[in-house]
Structure 1
Amino acid sequence: MRPDRLVGVLAGYVHWDITVAWGYAMGAARHPDRPAIVDDDGVLTFAQVDRRTTRLANGLVGRGVRAGGKVAVLCRNHRGFVETMVACAKIGAHAVLLNTGLSASQLATVLREQEVAVVVADEEFTDLPPDVQRVTDVAELISEGAATPLPRRPPRGRLIVLTSGTTGAPKGARRPEPAGLSPAAALLSRIPLREGETIAVPAPLFHTWGLAAFQIGLVLGATLVLRRKFEPEVLLADVRERGCGAVFVVPVMLQRVLELADRDVPSLRVIASSGSALPPPVATRCLREFGPVLYNLYGSTEVSWVSIATPAELAEHPSTVGRPPRGTRLAILDEHGAPVPPGGTGRIFVANEMLFDGYTNGMGKEVRDGLMSTGDVGYRDGTGLLFVAGRDDEMIVSGGENVYPAEVEALLAGLDQVREAAVVGVPDEEFGQRLAAYVVCDRPGVLDPEAVRDHVRTHLARFSVPRDVVFLDALPRNATGKVLKRDLPPYPVRGET
């Protein structure tokens, strides 16, 4: 690095500490003309983002935002989202990242509970409470804001991410600020991203996975390609035209990309998937179509990451979620907190540098010996690979046997005629509980309920066979692609389908 640029990097660190604000100040010093963001409105360099976010920070101060205050972000993936997070860091404000799929009542509840001062929202989101101060034109606020330097070392602002809310109302989770670069080193120990490459990020930035892509991309000085709405054709066109080396997706996005006929993207080295369970057939097909480029990260908003599966591991065991990356401790514990031997199923606990600091309502997750519960159950095989059996609150007891719906879901997803499937436990007078399967086929009438049951009966124990089979046109999902099981239609009475 040239001496003058090193001085700029050190000056940015002195001013902003290790925050996203320093990330762009460092980029402005090292490679000012390198594209930082490519979106639907064009290209911004690192120097431009650094200058624009100073103006935006001053503009937010003019709207009454102070250190310790909260700014909510209700935006699609574009420059305004990133610039708002950076501007908040420059004044020590907390950024509350709102899920774009929230209902009007959920939005009102979250904004009230978080005591938000200002909402930066895209124009399409009109269901905000009338008493909330709203900013819809970030570019206008930037043009109005002064370029006046901001105070050095403001208080650390937090990034507050909402839980997915698949089983209830979303909760605010306080994301920790990295104390150094070791969290990035942990991910890079299993995912071979490169400095300065171009990364496409269709995964929502308000979600932990999209946010992780932004943060590690910033560490690497990467060019981030963002689009307001995900379209598989546009994503592949961006990869080809921009020479993207990596993309960050959620599994449902990968499924849609695999449905396209033209998938020639020679520059692509890494497809990083996370956010929900990756169906084994999707993993196998991706490796067949794109080569050894697929990496699957298992984690959550609360624990950040647990493990990462590499292409070689997925090729041999498509259902694995891999191994813990550098600096991560993993344990499989029984109901008493004792370690479970290899092959035995138990609750998954993990420790790393990015465990969340608790929910904003004061609640937290169970912790044992410094390890935090993921809320999932699973097992490790003799080689140390981790497999997730499902959520610990989704396990049912049918006729005295423990049954995990996720195992049946993975089996059904492997049928050629099935696009996706969801399995839930329902009450049963004879066995206490039984399974009901909701299946989406590639075309109507290609399967009947008995064919579904026969397939499960052939491969799994009899208590795993779904008594009820319901065919749907699509599964209900949230904005990050997770299936909303609470929104599935009522299961039929026995004998109906």
Structure 2
Amino acid sequence: MPASRSEVAGPKGTRTRVLRILMRSGILVPARPDRNVRQLTSLGRWGATVAGGYRAAAARSPRRIAVIDERREVTFRDLHRRAVRLANGLEQLGAGPGTRVAVLCRNHAWFVETVLACAELGADVMLLNTGLSVRATAEVLRTHSPAVVAAADEFAEHVAAARIAAPLVVAWPDAAGGSGGGRSAGPGGNRSSGPARPARSDRSAGPAAHRIAAAGTVEDVIATASSRKRRPPEVPGRLIVLTSGTTGAPKGAYRSNPPGLAAAAALLSRIPLRSCESVLVATPMFHMWGLAALQIGMPLRNTLILQRRFEPKAALQAIADHRCAVVFGVPVVLQRILELPPGLRDAYDTSSLRVVATSGAPIPSPVVTAFMDVFGEVLYNFYGSTEVSWAAVADPADLRIAPTTAGRPPLDSRLKVLDELGAIVPRGVTGRIFVWNDMLFAGYTSGDTKEYRAGYMATNDRGHLDSSGRLFVHGRDADMIVCAGERLFPREVEDLLAALPEVREAAVVGVPDGDLGQRFAAYVVVRPGAELTAAQVRGLVARHLPGSAVPRDVVFVDALPRNATGKVVVRDLPPSLAGA
């Protein structure tokens, strides 16, 4: 393809190249012949589903720890056995092929076991955002009519508000009792010496809450379920991931099951993950990037270190304790770690880190450089979405040259930048980003889908390609404003503000303007003890960008409203001076 056109493709996924990547990562390496046979047999029968991946991992490395959370650790063998029993138990509660099971909990082993059990059943598993309001969660549950809901105790009110008939299975009781299923578990996986936590016929979620039919905890269901072996479902269950909903209502999106190990090879072609390493998942697994850590962890047989909430010191402690080689996170994770006093930060041994892979939001360019200055050339920035899966990955070399780049397409992926009429724009010209790969989503649960052009799916983002084929994302279509006829994106202004030593974080959004059509409003969080005025903010922007990009409204706030994946929730920002 001509180098002057804004289209670029990743390397072609030939059989030889895919095998080389899988061998280099340790997915395909010799082992005991019986384990190799069981591993390949599991993949052959169950495919590259979550169930197939973890069955294969259990066959290959049965005693290796698969998951460590705040209460327990589980081997691959016990994870598989428990998932089978949980699948049998969920089936008795009404779940099965073609039904939906809603999961509303944070990162922990019960989350993983429930997702695996749904894959064993052939049920669609709907991953709910823990950051949604009670009302929004209830609306999603009513719209999707799950057969069973698996939720943590803390979200009982959310489930109750939906007033649906589906039984509730508690997947993280407030009390630690009944939290067995760890390394020393027997065939049923329950290591508790006492009786299982008794099932409850109903739960109350506040004075006005609807009564919920509850089937007890995940442990209750596993303890009383059959260990009957399961056959692969005729039609594999699907994963339903909610879009972020930062500017509108979240939508359920069907994620396709990977067509095979070539999908893993695509990610591994740009991010050098290896088998049998410890991975800290510092992003919610209901989000596409956290889910990617779970999915790629299957063939790699990684140990996933799960924490229900991100806290920078706890994350560094986990890296040191478990010798984590990889962290999956979001950009705000990097910011919060860098904000720790250097002496405190350096007290943790992070020398095991090889890869810190982030996604979900743009990384301020000062954060990119500062993070690599502290932790070395370990940073990888993944650009994708719930709908297109992956589009590009920036490696440390890319980020050193161009800290704001989204990188290049991975194996067997292609992208184009098009104008409003669908024509490919020249390199350096901003346009609409379209992506092609084997993992494009299968549509929204509403029946709607995304825009396609010649097989390429719209990302709803705008950006450009540079002369080297690196992608730069300027922002979403919804972020762009037209000020006095000029199209502007907030990213450049946000990067300028992030570089100020007085600024902890900043967000820039478009607001209506009676004369200009639209203009920028800046929301700024000042570091403790620092001083900054609106005039200084405007002056900085005026020195570097056109006058139309200077925010007339500068609002100082204590914190930016963020969702569970670290994205700024625009609708929760206070009114600007213009909108007040």
Q: Normalization by structure 1: what TM-score?
A: 0.97
2:243 matched residue in structure 1: 163
- The one-letter amino acid of 2:329's match is V
Does residue 425 of structure 1 match 2:455?
no
Structure 2 matches for 1:369-408, cutoff 5 A? 369-408=454-493
Cα distance in structure 1, aligned partners of 2:233 and 2:88? 15
Map of 1:219 onto structure 2: 299
Compute the displacement of 1:125 (Å). Answer: 0.7
TM value normalised by structure 2: 0.84
Within-5 A mapping of 1:438-453: 438-443=523-528, 446-453=531-538
**Residue in 2 that maps onto 1:109:** 139
Identify the match of residue 306 of structure 1 among 391, 398, 411: 391
Aligned to 1:173: 253
SS in 1 for 2:406: coil
Helix, strand or coil for the counterpart of 2:289? Answer: helix
Aligned to 2:498: 413
Report the secondary structure of 1:420's partner residue: strand
Shift, 1:85, TM fit: 0.7
**Among 165, 168, 184, which residue is 1:134 paired with?**
168
Question: Given the alignment of the two structures, is residue 210 of structure 1 paired with residue 290 of structure 2, yes or no?
Answer: yes
Contact 2:502 2:530 in 1 (8 A): no
2:552 alignment partner in structure 1: 467
Unaligned segments of structure 1, at least 5 residues: none
Match of 1:330 in 2: 415
The structure-2 alpha-carbon separation of the partners of 1:152 and 1:354, relative to structure 1 and needing over 3 Å to count, comes to: closer
Alignment pair present for 1:70 and 2:100: yes
Matched, 1:6 2:36: yes
Q: Within 2, Cα distance between the matches of 1:280 and 1:151?
A: 50
- Judging changes above 3 Å, is the alpha-carbon distance between structure 1 residues 123 and 340 closer, same or farther for their aligned structure 2 residues? same
Q: 1:434 and 1:18 mapped to 2: Cα distance?
A: 48
Match of 1:315 in 2: 400
Does the CA contact (< 8 Å) of 1:91 and 1:154 recur in 2?
no
1:90 match? 120
Query: What corresponds to 1:24 in structure 2?
Result: 54
Provide the C-alpha distance between the structure 1 equivalents of 2:286 and 2:545, rounded to a whole number of angstroms.
38
- 1:361 pairs, out of 423, 446, 459, with 446
Amino acid at match of 1:165: G
CA contact (8 A) 2:337 2:345 kept: no
1:262 partner amino acid: R
| Whole-Å separation in 1 of the counterparts to 2:93 and 2:286 | 23
The answer to whether the 8 Å contact 1:73/1:81 transfers is yes
- 1:266 corresponding residue in structure 2: 351
Q: Which residue of 1 aligns with 2:325?
A: 245
Counterpart Cα distance in 1 of 2:403 and 2:152:
39
Tell me what 1:342 maps to. Answer: 427
In 2: Cα distance, 1:481 partner to 1:152 partner:
37
The code of the aligned residue for 1:485 comes to V
Tell me, what secondary structure is at the counterpart of 1:458?
Answer: helix
What amino acid is aligned across from residue 248 of structure 2 in structure 1? G
Q: Distance in 1 between matches of 2:412 and 2:302?
A: 24
Mapped contact 1:420–1:441 kept (Cα < 8 A): yes
In the alignment, structure 1 residue 43 sits paired with structure 2 residue 73: yes
**Aligned equivalents of 1:426 and 1:302: distance in 2?**
28
Partners of 2:97 and 2:233 within 8 A in 1: no
Aligned-residue offset at 1:40: 1.0
SS of corresponding position for 2:153 = coil
Asked whether 1:57 is paired with 2:115, we answer no
Task: Report the equivalent of 2:226.
Answer: 146
Which residue of 1 is the match for residue 182 of structure 2?
none
Aligned twin of 2:563: 478
Distance 1:493 1:61, change over 3 A: closer
1:185 to 265, 269, 287: 265
Deviation at 1:14, TM superposition (A): 4.3
Q: Distance in 1 between matches of 2:556 and 2:53?
A: 49
Equivalent pair of 1:423/1:438 in contact (CA under 8 Å) = yes
Give me the whole-angstrom Cα distance separating, in 1, the residues matched to 2:396 and 2:403: 9
Runs ≥4 in structure 1, deviation > 4 angstroms?
none
Give the residue type in structure 2 aligned to 1:386: L
User: Are 2:278 and 2:304, in contact at CA under 8 Å, matched by a contact in 1?
Assistant: yes
Structure 2 residue corresponding to 1:280, chosen from 352, 356, 365: 365
1:386-445 deviation digits (Å, cap 9, x = unpaired): 111111122111112111122211221111111111111112222222111111111366
The whole-number CA distance in structure 2 between the counterparts of 1:18 and 1:326 is 18
Q: Are residues 1:295 and 2:380 paired?
A: yes
Q: Secondary structure at the match of 1:155?
A: coil
Percent identity (aligned): 55
> Does the 8 Å CA contact 2:57/2:299 hold for their aligned counterparts?
no
3-state SS, counterpart of residue 90 of structure 1? helix
Distance 1:191 1:9 in 2: 24
Aligned-partner SS, 1:125:
helix
RCO comparison, higher one (Cα < 8 Å, 6+): 2
C-alpha distance in 2, partners of 1:184/1:232? 29
Q: Return the letter of the residue paired with 1:5.
A: R
Cα distance between partner residues in 1 of 2:41 and 2:462: 47
Q: Distance in 1 between matches of 2:113 and 2:556?
A: 44
Whether 1:79 aligns to 2:109 is yes
Q: Counterpart of 2:573? A: 488
For 1:10 and 1:438, locate their aligned partners in 2 and report how far apart those are by CA, in whole Å: 53
Give the 3 Å change call, closer, same or farther, for CA 463–337 of structure 1 in structure 2: same
The separation in 2 between residues aligned to 1:239 and 1:27, in whole angstroms, is 23
> How far off is 1:10 after superposition?
3.3
Deviations 1:232-278 (A, max 9, x none): 11111111111111000011111111122324400000000101111
Mapped partners of 1:90, 1:7: distance in 2: 20
Measured in 2, the distance between the counterparts of 1:440 and 1:311 equals 28
How many correspondences in the alignment?
495
Contact 1:90–1:154 (8 Å) recurs in 2: no
SS of 2:154's equivalent?
coil
